[in-house]
Amino acid sequence: MENKVNVGAKKFNAVDLITVVVFAVLVRVLWMVFKTAGIIFPFNHSFMHFFSAFCLVACMCVVKKRWTAFFYTVGWCAINFFIQGEHWSYWALVVLAPLLPELFMKARSKAFKNPDDVYHSFKDLLVFSIIYTVIYFAFVWWTLLYIFLVPIDWSLSAVAFAGALVLCVPGSWLGYRLGKKISTLIS
């Protein structure tokens, strides 16, 4: 008997879920390594979006199923909550971040003869990653400002947001390249 998680039209098998977990762990490891540079560089949160886009796009290219980003986000949020001890209000909203980008990918998949080809379109994955970054950044900044009451200057927020969007592009490109190579190797 094969265990599968049914989400939408395609089922996630154990390999898919393990792949998602590997990329969720990778984004947290990369973030923790770079976070140590926060002492030197104040915009380390912007660089989080580079790593997030890299791991997210690579994961999407490898798994090629709807709701991959949701499971990926739940995975790294669970790491934050259970291992790093972050407050639940931080990840409660962030878990919703992939919902709108997932709807975008579903709509875009109709433009392809094979709907799974949307997961190998850099343009679509880049737009997906940008939407994810905007929503994720907004949720995190809202949490910092209004739940944790961290006094952050709006001009600093704008610079950090611009940095996140700019860094999302090379992260998506590198993730796309890695995801395509891994996908080619396993198919």
Q: Tens of pLDDT along 44-91?
A: 777 888 898 999 999 999 998 888 889 998 888 888 788 777 767 666
Q: How far apart are CA 102 and CA 95, in angstroms?
A: 12
Q: Is the pLDDT of residue 32 over 90?
A: no
Q: Is the pLDDT of residue 7 over 50?
A: no
pTM for the predicted model, two decimal places: 0.84
Q: Tens of pLDDT along 104-146?
A: 888 888 888 887 778 888 998 999 999 999 988 888 777 777 7
